[in-house]
Chain A
């Protein structure tokens, strides 16, 4: 038992129960369906902008790109233009790889001592975190995009195409969407890694577990609604369209599970700007990634530099000329 995950787990259960009991028992649909989602949207956007503006205000005194390849040098030495970019285009491509493929995570290595008498330190390539992270983020992206069908009328054809691709296995009715399953499985894998890998477990905090449990809760309630308990999707769309057209309505017959899903989503979005989830915005502002390594070609002046009173050689000579001549030292100007 570890309170670092027991506490967030209990918290997510509590959120679920709060919405479920609040709706089924007390009839607080308007609170969990209307008030809290609107507040969450405001908190998300305001918090996100605020956070980024706060980061924008901090100084970046030095060029500190991390580089993983040959720097631009003599023309006969081949430069690695992406891993050690010296132009804006190189940086842009590097950022694309980073954002869409998590390239630096791909290079993740694991350090361990050999379990024999040599006890040598060895490094090995560790790909599973990258695979899990990629599956998780793309699952989340596709599920979120697909959810737009609840929020747009008419639904654009591109979304219908995405649904077609995502549902291409055509198992059961309603047909299985692969992305939802991938999202849940990947989130469970990332959780298992934090719990069972002793080294990762040691550095994991409640703030690492909470978003994981929350997302697992969201995916589990969503999957339960779609495949097992069922909700009236037409009614749900009336509800979501009500939210985005500012004429909120509560659909009849839609039960507590749906509001539990929505409450957990609302908490996730409201919590986003004040948590580690802000790495979504932070990746764009990483100075180790978004700067060109052109320190040898261009002079970068530290914005913190204040004007320094320097004593130049001329001033020095002016000061000591007579004494220098007297001592027979060479001077630039004679008199």
Chain B
């Protein structure tokens, strides 16, 4: 192959390999802050510790879902002594009961890391219903 073609190919390679660097010029490393609702702030504690919640809330929800649907148990006794309703969005002590604003809380993180939980195809965000 002629040298020009090779150099052109290599240029493309370098540009593509550095894609994340030039795509993000002017960006910052800061993640958007998920805003705690006044209600959550008053409650002070989530179901698990903060880091566990951040890393593990999907597995917790999976657990809850199976427990509710298969064993029909709806109350969860957390390690921190509080009890929660094992529900995504029903009741004051469910996820959405405390984190009332989905857009300012769940979605903030999820948009940032590009996850789109399919839950909302069936479950409702209580805020949407009252509106």
Contacts and interface: CB of A to CB of B under 8 A. Distances in A.
B59 A230 contact: yes
B55 A56 contact: no
B113 A233 contact: yes
Given A149-B114, A237-B31, A285-B1, A232 B20 contact: no
B20 A244 contact: yes
9 contacts: A153-B27, A160-B116, A173-B58, A230-B59, A235-B31, A237-B112, A238-B30, A253-B51, A284-B1
A308 B112 CA distance: 69
Interface string A216-234: 0000000000000011111
> What are the 6 tightest A-B residue pairs by CB atom distance, in nearest-first order?
A151-B20, A242-B29, A173-B62, A155-B114, A230-B55, A173-B58
A160 B4 CA distance: 36
A53 interface: yes
Interface of B: 1, 3, 6-7, 9-10, 13-14, 17-21, 23-24, 27-31, 51, 54-56, 58-59, 61-62, 65, 109, 111-116, 118
Q: Is the interface of B mostly helix, strand, loop or mixed?
A: helix
A165 interface: no
Contacts of A249: 29
A53 B11 CA distance: 12
Interface stretch (A4-12, A42-50, A101-109): A42-50
Contacts of A149: 113-114
B118 A241 contact: no
A73 interface: no
A44 B7 CA distance: 17
Contacts of B21: 244
A323 interface: no
A40 to B, nearest CB: 12
- Contact-residue size bin, chain A (C-beta under 8 Å from the other chain): 35 or more
A285 B14 CA distance: 17
A173 B59 contact: yes
Given A152-B20, A163-B114, A172 B29 contact: no
Contacts of B1: 56, 60, 284-285, 290
A148 B114 CA distance: 10
Contacts of B112: 153, 234, 237
A120 interface: no
A245 B55 contact: no
Nearest to A285: B1
Contacts of A284: 1, 9
Given A45-B18, A244-B21, A234 B54 contact: yes
